[in-house]
Amino acid sequence: MDHFNYRDGSLHAEEVPLTRIAAEVGTPVYVYSTATLTRHFGLFRQALDWTDHLVCFAVKANSNIAVLKLLGDLGAGMDVVSGGEYARARAAGVPGGRIVFSGVGKTRAEMRQAIEGGIRQFNIESEPEMRALSDLAVSMGVQVPVAIRVNPDVDAKTHEKISTGKSENKFGIPIARAREVYAEAAALPGLKVVGIDVHIGSQLVDLEPFRHAYAKLGDLTRALRADGHQISRLDLGGGLGIPYRRDNNAPPLPIEYGQVIRETVGDLGCEIEIEPGRNIAGNAGVLLAQVVYLKEGEGRDFLIVDAAMNDLLRPSMYGAHHDIVPVTEPAPGAEVSPFDVVGPVCESGDTFQKGTQLSRLAAGDLVAFRSAGAYGAVMASEYNSRPLVPEVLVSGDHFAVIRARPTYEEMLARDTIPGWL
């Protein structure tokens, strides 16, 4: 459920008509709903209310610091994968003690930044990383809490670019070698082993891969405890999918996901961490755009909108689908016809949908790309020198610009012409 609905024939974010945001901020623009973000975070909490837990929002899904502050104030922890994300989480007021640091290529500078600023745990992805972190911690005179990410070799049955838990993926250490690696970690003076980490992929629409992976984690927990390790936390990653099409079978609910966790690892007495990103932010946002031209082609008509692949990359990167809906509610039974919805960027890949059935739209009409709150703005670029897309947060009947659209002057000011030119 989200808070983007038609009221009086016009699409609203909560109580704010999207037409008002378009008039005041311009298009393209991302619009997020406070009520939806709050609701989705609450569902994960509720799903784990049977145990000690921390829901760490995956910052890479939506890293605007207003969004992070909203979630952080609700009690969320943060899962970060870079020094930049760590800085964002801290700027949003999230204490270091609620931040976990994931990612296969953490640099020493990033590790130092997090140790100095405070960290709940590092999720270690390889032996070289583990040794580097220990060396650094020793040189700083501290011992840092770590979980080791294991690769359980399960097929998440999702898009290959977002599948991370198969043995051929670059993530984590093979689960078969885990006992050996934990033995080395325990002997490294800069590390304090606190748990195990796993993350098998994103946009999972079936609970079985989770069940399979978490059951393996449960077995590993018992084996590591028998080896003498203190395993007090299990970080189960993110990955629960969302409905990208309204007409589709909905993926499992957070409460059902929580039940799988309880059934597989609930008896171990571990604190449970999860790292949902898409499921909290995805359906809490839309990308609002305006039709620039309706171009009649041979055998197909193009709807050319002012948003492009640089603003929303998922369709061209993953072939992903986003429902596109007109902001003015079509009359019941209004005639629809097929359109290719495209952006202005000079690439054929700048296509959002082919042959989508839409009611007749005209230049100047507004459309909303649904389910765009996760992996939307964060992947935006200025390709074709299109200024970085702005973001707006709605709460009830008011809204705020939480990232302004840069002016051309601001965009150009980042470049410098050297004196010798």
Q: How far apart are the first and last CA of the chain?
A: 56
Binding mask 93-112 for ligand PLP (x = CB under 6 A): ---------x----------
The yes or no reply on residue 79 touching ligand PLP (CB under 6 A) is yes
Quickly count: other Cβ atoms within 10 Å of residue 155's Cβ: 13
The angle subtended at Cα 81 by Cα 121 and Cα 308, nearest 5°, is 155
Minimum distance, C-beta of residue 61 to ligand PLP, in the bound complex (Å): 5
Q: How far is the CB of 125 from ligand PLP (least distance, A)?
A: 9
Shortest Cβ 215–ligand PLP spacing (Å): 19
Nearest to 100 by CA among 78, 116, 84: 78
156 vs 291, beta carbon nearer ligand PLP:
156
DSSP for 163-223? B--STTSSSSEEGGGHHHHHHHHHH-TTEEEEEEE---BSSB--SHHHHHHHHHHHHHHHH
Query: Between 72 and 276, whose beta carbon lies closer to ligand PLP?
Result: 276
270 catalytic, yes or no?
no
Q: Which amino acid is at 176?
A: A
DSSP-H helix ranges across 191-328: 208-226, 254-265, 278-281, 314-318
By beta-carbon proximity to ligand PLP, the closer residue of 21 and 61 is 61
Q: Is 276 annotated as a binding residue?
A: yes
SS3 category, 352: strand
Asked whether residue 278 is marked as a ligand-binding residue, the answer is: yes
What tokens does 46 get?
């509720």
Nearer to ligand PLP, 27 or 163 (CB): 163
Pairing of strands 10-13, 4-7: antiparallel
Residue 54 found at the interface with ligand PLP (CB under 6 A): no
Number of residues that this document lists for the chain? 421
Q: Which residues pair with 192 in a beta bridge?
A: 145
Q: Which stretch binds ligand PLP (CB under 6 A): 43-51, 135-143, 179-187, 275-283?
A: 275-283
CB of 138 to ligand PLP, least distance (A): 26
Helices and strands (H and E) in the chain: how many? 12, 21
- Indicate which single residue of 276, 326, 343, 376 sits in contact with ligand PLP (rule: CB under 6 A): 276
Determine if residue 403 is labeled as part of a ligand binding site. no
Measured between alpha carbons, how far is 120 from 52 in angstroms, rounded to an integer?
Answer: 15
238 lies in the binding site for ligand PLP (CB under 6 A): yes
Residue 199, interface with ligand PLP (CB under 6 A)? yes
Where helices occur in 80-149 by DSSP H, the ranges are 83-91, 108-117, 127-139
Q: Is 84 annotated as contributing to ligand binding? A: no
CB of 318 to ligand PLP, least distance (A): 12
Which of the residues 123 through 182 are near ligand PLP (CB under 6 A)? Answer: none
Q: Which is nearer to ligand PLP, 25 or 89 (CB)?
A: 89
Q: Does 277 bind ligand PLP (CB under 6 A)?
A: yes
Integer-rounded Cα radius of gyration of the chain = 23
Out of 29, 58, 305, 309, which residue is the one contacting ligand PLP (CB under 6 A)?
A: 58
The residues near 20 (Cβ < 8 Å, ≥ 6 apart) are none
Give CA 311 to chain center in angstroms: 16
360 is known to lie in a ligand binding site: no
Kindly name the residue from 1, 346, 362, 421 that is annotated as catalytic: 346
How many of the chain's residues bind ligand PLP (CB under 6 A)? 16
Q: How far apart are CA 217 and CA 236, in angstroms?
A: 9
Q: Is 239 in the site for ligand PLP (CB under 6 A)?
A: yes
The answer to whether 375 is a known ligand-binding residue is yes
Window 59-78: contact mask with ligand PLP (x via CB under 6 A):
-xx-----------------
Residues forming contacts to ligand PLP in the complex (CB under 6 A) are 58, 60-61, 79, 102, 199, 202, 237-239, 275-279, 374
- Binding-site residue numbers for pyridoxal 5'-phosphate are 239, 275-278, 375
- Binding-site residue numbers for substrate are 278, 314, 318, 347, 375
